[in-house]
Amino acid sequence: MGDERVKAEALQILGLFQALPRLVVFDLDYTLWPFYCECRSKRESPSLYRHAKGIMFALREKGIDMAIASRSPTPDIAKVFIDKLEIKSMFVAQEIFSSWTHKTEHFQKIQRKTGIPYKSMLFFDDEDRNIESISKMGVASVLVENGLNLDMFKLGLSNFATNVAASSTIYKKSSRARPHVVTKAKVPKACVLDAAGGGLGLYCGAGDAGVLHGKAHEGAPSMALPPPAPSAAAMLSPPVPSKERTLNPTRARGDEPDLLPPPPPPPPP
């Protein structure tokens, strides 16, 4: 289905609802595009999920603003891809930075920049931790499993309408809806630094029984992942004396980057 056909269907869906958001906020990785951008090179030509652009065209035609909230640790790559995909002009705000908060900081910045209240926003993301924290702020939020598509779009608008109705019903002051759509378990994927390549590359691929398949480097050996460690333990791990960003090798599909904390300052002489 081409972008114009998707746009026409998205406009039809928008016509079904009286209450529409003033701002739609998208995550990037596995929401607008099917990869982690830190696993890609700026030289590549990225592609979006096949309905994403048509949906954005429809929102723009309807006069609904759009923004990005991403915890990508490589905003430089993300911004290059946004440029290459020719969607930069679609967004009134782009908050792309790594953060320990589950995007609450991103939304605070978006709210300050746009002046749009949280209850007038709709958010799409593939990670339930982000959905949970942002829906608590009063934003209608939708967990997408296989990226943004027309079904998820319709579900999001429906959740938004429910959210508005719940917050405007004076007899149900405590009944604010928290749209939280849990879908089936996700396929684990992983992304680790390429130690054999001097730390310059990244292996990305579908994890299977703890084995990582380094498709990006032909002839490179597969690497066995260490057993999963609790995230608290990961945070307490000794700092890694390397300039390269260190990813938690147990990172799974749907997880946003788990960066190790920065090393402590040296003791005074």
Catalytic residues: 27, 29
**Per-residue 3-state assignment (H helix, E strand, C coil) for 214-257:** CCCCCCCCCEECCCCCCHHHHHCCCCCCCCCCCECCCCCCCCCC
Helical pair 52-61 and 3-14, crossing angle rounded to 10 deg: 50
Q: What is the DSSP letter of 268?
A: P
CB 71 within 8 A of CB 103: yes
Q: Name the residue with the smallest CB distance to Mg ion.
A: 29
Q: Which of 50, 48, 53, 58 is nearest to 15 (CA)?
A: 58
Q: Which one, 119 or 189, has the nearer CB to Mg ion?
A: 189
Helical pair 128-136 and 104-114, crossing angle rounded to 10 deg: 50
**Count of other CB atoms within 10 angstroms of residue 26:** 23
Element (H, E) at 79: helix 75-84
Shortest distance, position 245 Cβ to Mg ion, whole Å: 17
Q: Which one, 65 or 126, has the nearer CB to Mg ion?
A: 126
Applying CB under 5 A, which residues contact Mg ion? Answer: 27, 29-30, 126
Q: Which one, 126 or 194, has the nearer CB to Mg ion?
A: 126
Q: What is the dihedral sign for C-alpha 147, 150, 151, 155? A: positive
